[in-house]
Structure 1
């Protein structure tokens, strides 16, 4: 990652997961914004056109829009998506990856696996 502190959006309806991921990201110098739903995250993107996270950590199953629906709305944004889920299903995983997900991790995931995925997504995004 470059020297500018990257911003990562964490979208998960479980507030404790969002807080834990936020702390983990801050431990490597990454700023994290947390959102309880995909709808809230997308509303921020619309309300503040300059808001552009370096990547998004996105829960698959949430109230309102699910992770795949949020990913679909982000396809033209070029923002990398890292999926996290407690309910892994092969067809959903394949759909997410086919649509360009940078990573797909099952909860509980290894902290290093998440951090490696974030670093790779942020680096790839900053190279574009």
Structure 2
């Protein structure tokens, strides 16, 4: 039986965050697609040939549709969501977690913590030996 493809989508309007996250995820064997807006992600997901990612890593504060609205729209899909944001608002954090977010990490994020959270989101044993 083939091993399922481990995938994540990173949604952040900061290109440096997208590149760093993709590099980190790839180094652990997780294919990462990056998007600079929620609209770009939604457009890709609306394609019938585009499978849902194993998890989403999203910024809260984005131009246009913000992270909480994206989370609201994607709740029915069951895709695990991890917020990585500079927002330090307890109300936003509370809403995200109450709606089922797997994590709410602050920028600059700790790579080890992000990877542990991604492993949980993907439903895999934590690769603590690899961290």
TM-score under structure 1 length normalisation: 0.91
> Structure 1 stretches (4+) deviating beyond 4 angstroms?
none
> 1:116 & 1:75 partners in 2: Cα distance?
22
* Residue matched to 1:58: 58
Deviations along 1:10-34, whole A, 9 cap, x unmatched?
0000011000000000110000000
* Residue matched to 1:43: 43
CA RMSD of aligned residues (A): 1.4
> 1:51 & 1:36 partners in 2: Cα distance?
19
Higher normalized contact order (CA 8 Å, seq sep 6+, divided by chain length): 1
Bigger Rg, structure 1 or 2: 2
**Which structure 2 segments of 5+ residues have no match?**
125-131
Shift of 1:88: 1.5
* Residue matched to 2:76: 76
Q: How does 1:65-104 map to 2 (within 5 A)?
A: 65-104=65-104
Shift of 1:6: 0.5
**Which structure 1 segments of 5+ residues have no match?**
none
Aligned length: 123
TM-score under structure 2 length normalisation: 0.89
